[in-house]
Amino acid sequence: MKKLLVANRGEIAIRVMRTAKNMGIKTVAVFSEVDRNAPHVKFADQAVCIGPAPSNASYLLGQKIIDVSKALNVDAIHPGYGFLSENADFAELCEAHNIIFIGPRSKAIRVMGSKLAAKETVKAYNIPMVPGTDEAITDISEAQHIAKSIGFPILIKASAGGGGKGMRIVKHESEFKSQMDRAISEATNAFGDGSVFIEKYVASPRHIEIQIMADSHGNVLHLFERECSIQRRHQKVVEEAPSSALTPALREEMGQAAINVARSCDYIGAGTVEFLLDENLNFYFLEMNTRLQVEHPVTEWIAGVDLVALQIQVAKGEKLNITQDQLKINGHALELRVYAEDPMNDFLPSVGTLDVYKLPEGKNIRVDNGFEEGMDIPIYYDPMLSKLITYGKTREEAIELMIEAIDNYHIKGVETTLPFGRFVCEHDAFRSGTFDTHFVKTHYAPNLLEKQQQIEANIAAKLALKHYLAEQNILRVPD
Q: Say how far residue 131 (Cα) sits from the centre of its chain.
A: 26
C-beta of residue 404 within 8 angstroms of C-beta of residue 367:
no
C-beta of residue 420 within 8 angstroms of C-beta of residue 449:
yes
Alpha helix stretches (DSSP H) within 114-175: 115-122, 140-150
Cα–Cα dist 67/64, whole Å = 5
Q: Say how far residue 286 (Cα) sits from the centre of its chain.
A: 15
Alpha helix stretches (DSSP H) within 1-53: 10-22, 39-43
DSSP single-letter state for residue 354 = -
Cα–Cα dist 227/223, whole Å = 13
Catalytic machinery residues: 291
- What are the DSSP E strand ranges found in 255-360? 269-277, 283-289, 332-339, 341-342, 348-349, 356-358
- What does the angle CA 129 – CA 243 – CA 315 come to, to the nearest 5 degrees? 75
Q: Please report, in angstroms and rounded to a whole number, the separation of the first and last CA atoms in the chain.
A: 69
DSSP lists the bridge partners of residue 391 as 333
Alpha helix stretches (DSSP H) within 265-389: 296-303, 307-315
HSE toward the beta carbon, residue 162, CA cutoff 13 A: 15
- What are the DSSP E strand ranges found in 70-219? 76-78, 100-101, 154-158, 168-170, 196-200, 206-214
Beta pairing, strands 220-232 & 206-214: antiparallel
Beta pairing, strands 283-289 & 269-277: antiparallel
C-beta of residue 320 within 8 angstroms of C-beta of residue 215:
yes
C-beta of residue 197 within 8 angstroms of C-beta of residue 188:
no
